[in-house]
Amino acid sequence: MLRVQGIDLSYGTQQVLFNLNFNLHQGEILGFLGPNGAGKSSTMRILTGYLRPSKGEVFFLDKDVSKNPLFLREHLGYLPETAPIYPELKVEEYLKWVAEVKSVENINKEVDKVIRECGLKTVQKKLIRYLSKGYRQRVGLAQALLGDPKLIILDEPTVGLDPTQVREIRNLIKELGKEKTILLSTHILSEVELLCKRVIIINRGRILADESLEELVKKAGEKRFILLLSRKTDLNIFKEEIGDCFSLIELKEVTDGYKLELSQKREGDFREKIFAAAIKSNGVLLELFPKRSSLEEAFVKLVYSGEEQ
């Protein structure tokens, strides 16, 4: 649906984006992640046609956006970090005004539809200034949805909301994702884990990773295991037996024995070593399972190793 090819961007003499290349496929929610100042908002401004890149092209449904800016805008719903919402208007009035600006046909019907989709029925006659932050964000989403856009770009949609509001907005995004293509920029890694199958990580204007969440976590995370050993285990012998393949990350005494977290030192499958070591140390291995490394670990690892170079 969206193809980004060789994008560079400079503000004056400072180059902030370097040769960005990625695709956004129809029907996916793509997570766009990066630390502060990485270049997320600048990229979004280019994708939404608010900024022109210094180099490179963006294609929307195979049409060059710089040559057909209106074509993209007709099919785009954009929720910027702070949505331009007018507090002195009532929700319904505001949405009707946006619909007019967007040249939406059948304004009343379309406004009713987004009010329903975004759960705004109970506040549609209220002045926006009296709405809670969560409801204002819903209004922001509703304006992005007007005109039935094919592509929705959301810039940090849950920032500053309380936990209940965050959950509501996430559920709404999840629902929208069943029909729409969504690019979701956020700092919140758990949000990406909940909503997205694919992730792009950007830092200092360069893409560090573009892959499925599963692949990213698998690649970046070292192999770790959690195990439970019976109380009679001689831990010194156990540590010595596994020492060439694993390092001990954590050891805790729990009610039914010892809980350990091990990190594997080199490639291979050494689980048998753990079983054998338990027997040699006069213990019983009660539990053994791999620890799934989280997106957070993958993110920190990628961004941090990038900083070192």
Ligand X SMILES: Nc1ncnc2c1ncn2[C@@H]1O[C@H](COP(=O)(O)OP(=O)(O)OP(=O)(O)O)[C@@H](O)[C@H]1O
Q: Which of 7, 24, 33, 39 binds ligand X (CB under 6 A)?
A: 39
SS3 121: helix
Q: Which is nearer to ligand X, 39 or 134 (CB)?
A: 39
Q: Which of 40, 96, 150, 224 binds ligand X (CB under 6 A)?
A: 40
Q: Which is nearer to ligand X, 160 or 290 (CB)?
A: 160
SS3 30: strand
Q: Which helix (H) or strand (E) holds 164?
A: helix 163-176
Q: Which of 42, 181, 281, 293 binds ligand X (CB under 6 A)?
A: 42
Distance in angstroms (rounded) separating the CA atoms of residues 185 and 203: 13
Number of residues that bind ligand X (CB under 6 A): 10
Distance from the first to the final alpha carbon of the chain? 34
Q: Which is nearer to ligand X, 15 or 122 (CB)?
A: 15
Q: Which is nearer to ligand X, 16 or 107 (CB)?
A: 16
Q: Which of 5, 23, 41, 247 binds ligand X (CB under 6 A)?
A: 41
Site string for ligand X, 19-38 (x = CB under 6 A): ---------------x-xxx
Distance in angstroms (rounded) separating the CA atoms of residues 145 and 77: 6
Q: Considering only 39-47, 140-148, 252-260, 298-306, which stretch makes contact with ligand X by CB under 6 A?
A: 39-47
Q: Which of 3, 10, 16, 276 binds ligand X (CB under 6 A)?
A: 16
Minimum distance, C-beta of residue 205 to ligand X, in the bound complex (Å) = 7
DSSP 74-102: HHEEEE-SS----TTSBHHHHHHHHHHHT
Q: How far is CA 207 from the centre of its chain?
A: 14
- Residue 145 Ramachandran class (φ > 0 left, ψ -120 to 50 alpha, else beta): alpha
List interacting residues with ligand X (CB under 6 A): 11, 16, 34, 36-42
